[in-house]
Structures are given as C-alpha cells and as structure tokens.
Structure 1
Amino acid sequence: MVTLRPSPADAPDAHELLAEYFRARTEGFALMDVSYRTSFPDPAAFVPPAGVFVVLDDDEGVAQGCGGIRLIPPGALGTRYELKHLYLRPGTRGRGWGRLLVEDLERRARGFGAAELVLDTHHSLEAAGALYARTGFTPIDPYNDNPNATRWYGKTL
C-alpha cells in the first residue's frame, strides 16, 4: 500500500526525486533538439497554506514519486493553486499512483480554499496529458510564460 506524506520540497528524498525528474526532462527535450530550463522550486512556496509538497512512498517506505501545489495569483474563478513537479519513477508507472498524487493534491488545494487548480506541461509528455484528462483537467489559455510549457490545463474545484 502506498502512502502520501507532506514533505519539505528540499528534503533529501524529495530533492532526489526532483533531480531525477529534471534530468529526465532535460534528456527528453534534448532528443527533440529543445532546451529545458531546470529550476528547483523555492521550498517556501510549498509550505501551507501557500502550498504543499507531497512524496509518495511504496509499501516498503521507499520514495517513488512526488508533486506539489502552490498558490498563484487569483484567476477569474478566485483562489488558484498550481500543480507542479508531478513525477513517478519510471518503474512504478501504470499502477494508478499518478492519479493518487493528483487526487491527493486536488483535495489539499480544496482544503486551502482553491476555486481552481491549474498546471502547465509539454505536449511531448503524452502520458501526463492523458492523466490530466482522466482526472478532469481541460485545456485553458496560458496563464504563465513557462518556457518549458506548450499546454495549459485547469480544473474548477
């Protein structure tokens, strides 16, 4: 059974997962002849109620995935949080753990009073796009200027 636990974004296991995530994105973008800008998150952005960072542990207590939400400027619907750095180690994918992470972070955003949850991603991350569609996210207009993003999604909470 997996567990989801809040964690500082700069805790050793969270940092290791983020480093793997950024390394995979950098390598994947290089194959497309596109550069990827790596930027470790400011841990303060993921401290409640400004946000939260979550680590997913497998049944042996090994950190296998992560993700976070952070408060961003309000949108047309009001209080808005952004889903960031959703990552699962490749060997764990296909088990439904991505959905568990998204649903947990969505629940936490609601608890902080969010009216909307938004995210950005790159079109090459097809599995991520499919996960977001399965969990109720729909395409929206860009809300930021993230150079790594080509698609933006939102969900009314």
Structure 2
Amino acid sequence: MKIWVLRHGEAVPHGSKPDPARELTEQGRKEVLSSATELVGQPLTAIYASPYLRAQQTAQLVREALGFEPEIRTVDWLTPEADPDRVADQLVAVSDVLLVSHNPLVGNLLSYLQHGAGYPPERVGTAGLAELEGDELVIGAMRLNSLKHP
C-alpha cells in the first residue's frame, strides 16, 4: 500500500484572514502544480483533503492536473492540529490515497507512520510531497520512499 501526503502550497499570511479561509498565493499554485507532476501515473484511488480553503484549492489543482475523476473527499481529520493516530485509524481500510493537509499534522503524521510516537516531526515545506509505503498500515513501520519539494 502507498500513501501520498501533500502539504498545501504557499498561502496568504497568517492574520490576513481567519486561518481556515486563507487561500493559496500565485506562488503557492505554482508549487502545487510542480508537485502534482510527481503523481502522474500513480495508482491513486482517492484524494482526501482538509476543509481549509488552501488545502481544498491544493487538492483541486492536483485533481485537475492529473485528470482525476472522483470528487475530493473533504474530511475534518486532516486539519492542522489533528491527531496522527486519528488519521491512521481512518487509513486502515484504504490504499493508494493522497492526503492534502497542513503542518504541524503533515510533519507529525509522516514521523508517526515511519517511527511511531515520540519522534520529531519530518520537516515539510509548502507543497512538499511525501510517498510512504508498506505491506499494510502499521504505525512505525511505513517506509518513506521520497519527500520532494518544488
């Protein structure tokens, strides 16, 4: 099974709007499209995204770039402060999915899936794309195949 985790692209600064309403900048859109090229030809079955605007915009850009037909699945368990354990619980019955979210969740989730609890988060910049793989979803046993930044 594979899981791709994509942090949203660059967004307008904190304080300019409420956090859930912050949108991508033009640079953020370019970053996302660059990262989307890494997903071409991958066997994605679903795209899950945080309800925050910048994550929704990121997911939609990827969906359009790939010509991915299924609708984006908006879920509250991908918001910035979500618990990685809760995310892992949601992933038990899925495979080959893209998760579009935010830090600190992205860094914490990548670390948790690779090493288990208690490890420092992975450092993931805007539009950073990680590919994790494992025979099954076992916390602390997933392999990080790549972590690429635009």
Q: Determine if the TM-score, normalized by the shorter chain, exceeds 0.5.
A: no
TM-score, length of structure 1 as denominator length: 0.30
Based on CA coordinates, which of the two structures has the bigger radius of gyration?
A: 1
Higher strand proportion, which one?
A: 1
**Higher RCO structure (Cα 8 Å, ≥6 apart):** 2
